[in-house]
Amino acid sequence: MKINTAKIQFNEQNTPVAEEFDDVYFSNDDGAAETHYVFIQGNDLINRFKHCDKPLFIIAETGFGTGLNCAIAVEIFNKFRLDNPNHVLKRLQIISVEKYPLSAPDLSIALTKQPSSQAFKSALLSQYPNLIGGAHRLTFGAVSIDLWLGDAIEMFDAMMSSTQDKVDAWFLDGFAPSKNPDMWSQALFERMAALSCNKATLATFTAAGFVRRGLIEAGFTMRKAPGYGRKRDMLVGEYTPKLPPRSVNNHNNIAIIGGGLAGANAALALAKRGCNITLFDKNDIASGASGNPQGGFYPQLHAQVSNPSTIQALSFDYAKRSYQSLLNSRFTFEHDFCGVLQLAFSDNVKERHQKMKTNKPWPDTLIHPVTQQEASTIAAVPLEIGGMFLPQGGWISPPSLVKALLNAASAICKLTIVTNTNINVLEEKNGKVRVNAKNINYEFDHLVMASGSHTDAFSHYAHLPFGKTRGQVESIPTNDDIAQLQTVLCHKGYFAPKMNNRHALGSTYKRDDITTEYQIDDTHINLRTHKKALPNTAFIDSLQNEFTGRAATRMTLPDHQPVVGIVKDENDSGCFSVLSGLGSRGLTTAPLMAEILASELFAEPIPMAQNLYDAVHNTRFAKRAAKRG
C-alpha cells in the first residue's frame, strides 16, 4: 500500500500544522497539558490502571500525528509501573492509526517543538519505520505501540479479526470534524465498537453533535464534559454492550523445541510476557541452518506490492528494530548493517529493477536504484553493473545473534536450556504437554515447535506440507582484492564483507536433499554462480577457496511463506504451536513471526493485517484444502 506523507508547516507559535487540513497537531498553548486533560483524564487512565485486574491494558487512537498522545501515555504508564512494581498490570499496548504520517525529517523537527520526554523522542526516531502500509510494532520498555499506516477504516477492518483482546480506552484524535469530515464517520464509530471491550472508555476534544449521535448509535453512552482551555465542551463516553467476559490465558510454563533463530526469537518474545521457558535442542544451540557464520539480512521485494513482499518488508522493518533494541540493551552480536546491493546481473533482473524504478512501490529509505558507478562506490570494489541498494540491510552472524537473543531472554525470565537430547514423548493430557528428555519427565502449559528441519518428525505437525532444501555456504579467506568490500553483494547468490578475515559466499539450493556433509561439487556450483553473475570482475577471479564451509537443511513450504500459530485439531486443545518454514529468510522473518505467535498465544492484538496473518498462519493449508473440496 502506497503511503503519502503529511505536508506540514509551523505557525507563529511554532506548532506544526497539516497543510491538507489547515489544522494544528496539538494545542498552540500547551500540547502536553491538552493531552493530559482530554485523553488521560477524559479516560480516567491513572485510576483505571490502579484497578486493572489483567496483565495488559490496550489503548487505541485515531491519528498518531507527532506521537504526543503516545508519549504522554508511555510516561504515565512507566510512572505507574515504577510506583506499583507488584501490580498485576504489567504492560500497555497502544494501537495508533495514521493515514498521512510525517516523514522522518519532519517528525524530527516537530518533536523538537513538542513538549514530551526526550527519552521518548529519541526512542521513537530510532524506531520510526519505513513508511509501508500496514502494522509496525514499536517497543518502549513495557509499552508497545502498533502504528498502523493507512486509512483508519481500512486499517480497523484489517485488524478486526487479528485483534483478539479488546480495546480498553480510545483517544479519538483526528483533525477537527469541520476540517476532516471523512474520518468522523459512522463506519469508523461502528468499527470502534466492534474492537471495544465491556466498559471501554472514550475521550475526544470535539463536542460536535453528529459525532456524539454517531457514537451513541454505535453503542457508546456519551456525555459532554468541560473542554480544555478556551474550548467550552468535549465528549467522553463508555461502551456497555452485553459481551461475554474475556478469558485470560495461563501459559506460564512453556517448552520450545529448537535452538536456532526461530526458537531463540520465540524465547525472547515469550519471556517479555513473563513466561518460564525450557528450550530443547536435538544437537546444540544454532547447530542447524542458523549455524552459518554469516547471513545476508534484507527483504525479498517485488516490483509490485504483493502479500509475500509486504510480509518481507514489514518483517525486515520489525527485525531491524528488534536487533537494534538488543544492541541498545548491550546484548551484542557480530554484524554490520552495511547495506545490501542487489545487482542487475541478468536481463530479467534488469527488467524487474526497471519496473521498481518506474512504479516506486517501496520507500527510498528501504530500497532505491544505484548506477554502476554508485554501486562501485558503495561496495568499495570495482563493479561492472548497478542495481538496487537496501541501505538498512547488511550481514549478521546467526550463531552470535542466537546467543544474544537467549541471553536477553534469560535476563528477564527463568530460561532452562537442554541440548543434545531427543524428545522421546510428546503428548497432551488434561490441558498439559508432557515430554521426556534425558530420562527426565517435564510438564508444560504449552509447547512451541521451532526445530526447523526436524519439525515434521512430530505427529502434531505432520499435516503441514513441509519441504526440505539443502544449502551450502563457502568460507573464503580474504585477500587484498576483496578485503575492502563494504556491503553485501547479492545476485543469484551472495557475497559478504569479511568477518574474522573470512567471507561467506553462497548458497546452493538442492530440494529434497537432507545431507549436511560438506560437498566439493557444491563448492564449484557456488563459485560458478558468482563468476557467471559477475563476469569481468577482477576480485571474483582472485577468490582462493580452501574448501571450507558448511551445509544445512532449510525447512520450506509450497507457498514459500513461514508458518506460525497455535495448532488445533480434533485431538488436542491448542497446547501446541509452530514457528517454522523460515527457509533462507530466518534473519528477516523470525522476530515478527515470534511476536505474532506470542500475541496469539496471549490473545493480544496481533501486529499484522488479517490478510497477511492468514497468509502465514498454519491453518492456511487446511482452509485451502477445504476450499478445493
The mean predicted confidence, pLDDT, of the chain is 91
Instruction: Give yes or no for a cis peptide into 108 (omega within 30° of 0).
Output: no
Is the pLDDT at 116 greater than 70? The verdict is no
Average of pLDDT values for 222-238? 93
CB 481 within 8 A of CB 538: yes
pTM: 0.94
So what's the pLDDT on residue 258? 96
Q: Is 69 left (phi over 0), alpha (psi -120 to 50) or beta?
A: alpha
pLDDT per residue as tens digits for the range 358-378: 999 999 999 999 999 999 999
pLDDT per residue as tens digits for the range 315-352: 999 999 999 999 999 999 999 999 999 999 999 999 99
pLDDT per residue as tens digits for the range 491-502: 999 999 999 999
So what's the pLDDT on residue 542? 84
3-state helix, strand, coil in the chain (%, to 5): 35, 25, 40
Compute CA distances 523 → 526, 529, 535, 599, whole Å. Answer: 5, 10, 18, 42
pLDDT per residue as tens digits for the range 191-206: 999 999 999 999 999 9
Q: Which domains does the chain have, with CATH numbers?
A: 8-239 (3.40.50.150), 253-288+399-464+558-627 (3.50.50.60), 340-391+467-554 (3.30.9.10)
pLDDT per residue as tens digits for the range 67-103: 999 999 999 999 999 999 999 999 999 999 999 999 9
